[in-house]
């Protein structure tokens, strides 16, 4: 039995700000407050389970521990990436994530969290919080202590198909009416800076992490929006969204038939629209919107057929 392509069962997380848009991917979600689909995860707070092949029923974390050969034998204590779909029915808290060294020291050996967002869909007038206006640490602390959020936070309008790179230290927040594919370091550490004085179901204000946030916020803010590289090849439009020290992310829009060389330790794939096939030698896999899978290092070349779009990521 081949280990070329491993499909994963999604994991769902209910959130105070979640909605029901994940149903559009064909998922059976737990409620109308479902905020996150952890699509490819090997974290203590969520482990993807393989749906096919000889590893069926095993978690991604177990494969990382016991079958490093399918990941090209790369080093590392933890599987490096985490892929999610986030349904922000309401505003998320304004937050920031730590770097590796700070997280290791202050969050029980967690990785830091650099992430990126591909906007799958959003309301017409949608915006998100991305960056701050404070010029230095002193001004930052003052604005936070005085609750001058309108002065501090930078807001930017968004549309479907936009892409944002969000390195650790960047203040950010998804706002209501936004559906995103998020690719990030394998970490679940978030510092809440501001939460609109929202209360949870029990009527309590949600916990904030002001001092830790102040420690890790990058000031002044550096806007790291890049020009996207678009390449038209036979049967496919390929867009390089980001190449960073933590991950490379690309979007493949297949229209017909295209061959892809594979020279990465593993490739994580999320089908975001349409359907089609992946062919590897004699093997053929049908893929459709909402599928998430990993192409292992054993695959040197594959063929994509159909009419679909997928976002791929690798280290």
Count of C-beta atoms within a 10 Å radius of residue 104: 14
**Is pLDDT above 60 for 256?**
yes
Please pick, among 192, 199, 206, 224, the residue that the annotation labels catalytic.
Answer: 192
Mean pLDDT of 141-154: 98
Kindly list the domain boundaries of the chain, sorted by start residue: 5-216, 229-314
In the prediction, which pLDDT does 126 show? 96
In the prediction, which pLDDT does 144 show? 98
Q: What mean pLDDT, rounded, does the chain reach? A: 96
Mean pLDDT of 89-112: 96
Separation of alpha carbons 208 and 206, rounded Å:
6
In the prediction, which pLDDT does 124 show? 96
pTM higher than the cut 0.85: yes
The reply to whether 115 sits in an annotated binding site is: yes
Q: What is the pLDDT of residues 160-201, one digit of tens each?
A: 999 999 999 999 999 999 999 999 999 999 999 999 988 888
How many alpha carbons fall within 13 Å on the CB side of residue 233?
Answer: 15
Q: Supply the Cα-derived Rg of the chain in whole angstroms.
A: 20
CA 29 vs. chain centroid, Å, equals 19
Rounded to 10 degrees, the C-alpha dihedral 8/10/172/99 comes to -50
In the prediction, which pLDDT does 188 show? 96
Residue 1 — very low, low, confident or very high, per pLDDT cuts 50/70/90? low
**Is pLDDT above 90 for 3?**
no
23 is catalytic: no
The reply to whether 292 sits in an annotated binding site is: no
Residue 274 — very low, low, confident or very high, per pLDDT cuts 50/70/90? very high
**Is pLDDT above 70 for 50?**
yes
In the prediction, which pLDDT does 299 show? 96
Count of C-beta atoms within a 10 Å radius of residue 1: 8
Q: What is the pLDDT of residues 9-36, one digit of tens each?
A: 999 999 999 999 999 999 999 999 999 9
CATH class of 229-314: mainly beta
Mean pLDDT of 61-65: 98
**Is pLDDT above 70 for 278?**
yes
Q: What is the pLDDT of residues 69-96, one digit of tens each?
A: 999 999 999 999 999 999 999 999 999 9
In CATH terms, 5-216 corresponds, of 2.60.120.10, 2.30.110.10, 3.40.50.300, 3.30.70.980, to 2.60.120.10
In the prediction, which pLDDT does 104 show? 96
Where would I find the H helices in 146-288? Answer: 149-152, 210-216
The reply to whether 314 sits in an annotated binding site is: no
């Amino acid at each position: 039995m081949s280990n070329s392509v491993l499909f994963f069962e999604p994991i769902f997380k209910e959130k105070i700000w979640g909605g029901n848009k994940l149903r559009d991917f064909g998922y059976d979600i737990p409620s109308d407050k479902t905020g996150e689909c952890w699509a490819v995860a090997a974290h203590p707070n969520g482990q993807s389970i393989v749906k096919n092949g000889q590893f069926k029923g095993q978690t991604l974390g177990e494969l990382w521990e016991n079958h490093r050969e399918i990941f090209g034998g790369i080093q590392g204590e933890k599987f490096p990436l985490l892929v999610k779909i986030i349904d922000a029915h309401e505003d998320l808290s304004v937050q920031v994530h730590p770097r590796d060294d700070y997280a290791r020291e202050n969050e029980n050996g967690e990785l830091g969290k650099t992430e990126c967002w591909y906007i799958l869909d959003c309301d017409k007038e949608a915006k998100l919080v991305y960056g701050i206006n404070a010029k230095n640490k002193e001004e930052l602390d003052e604005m936070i202590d005085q609750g001058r959020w309108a002065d501090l936070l930078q807001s930017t309008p968004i549309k479907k198909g936009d892409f944002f790179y969000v390195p650790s230290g960047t203040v950010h927040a998804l706002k209501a009416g936004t559906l995103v594919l998020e690719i990030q370091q394998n970490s679940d550490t978030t510092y809440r800076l501001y939460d609109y004085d929202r209360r949870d179901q029990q009527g309590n204000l949600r916990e904030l992490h002001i001092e830790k946030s102040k420690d890790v916020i990058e000031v002044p803010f550096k806007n790291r929006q890049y020009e996207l590289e678009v390449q038209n090849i036979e049967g496919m439009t390929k867009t390089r969204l980001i190449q960073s020290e933590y991950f490379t992310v690309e979007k493949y829009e297949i229209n017909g038939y295209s061959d892809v060389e594979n020279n990465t330790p593993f490739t994580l794939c999320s089908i975001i629209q349409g359907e089609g096939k992946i062919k590897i030698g004699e093997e053929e896999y049908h893929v459709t919107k909402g599928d998430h899978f990993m192409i292992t290092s054993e695959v040197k070349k594959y063929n994509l057929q159909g009419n679909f779009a997928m976002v791929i990521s690798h280290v």
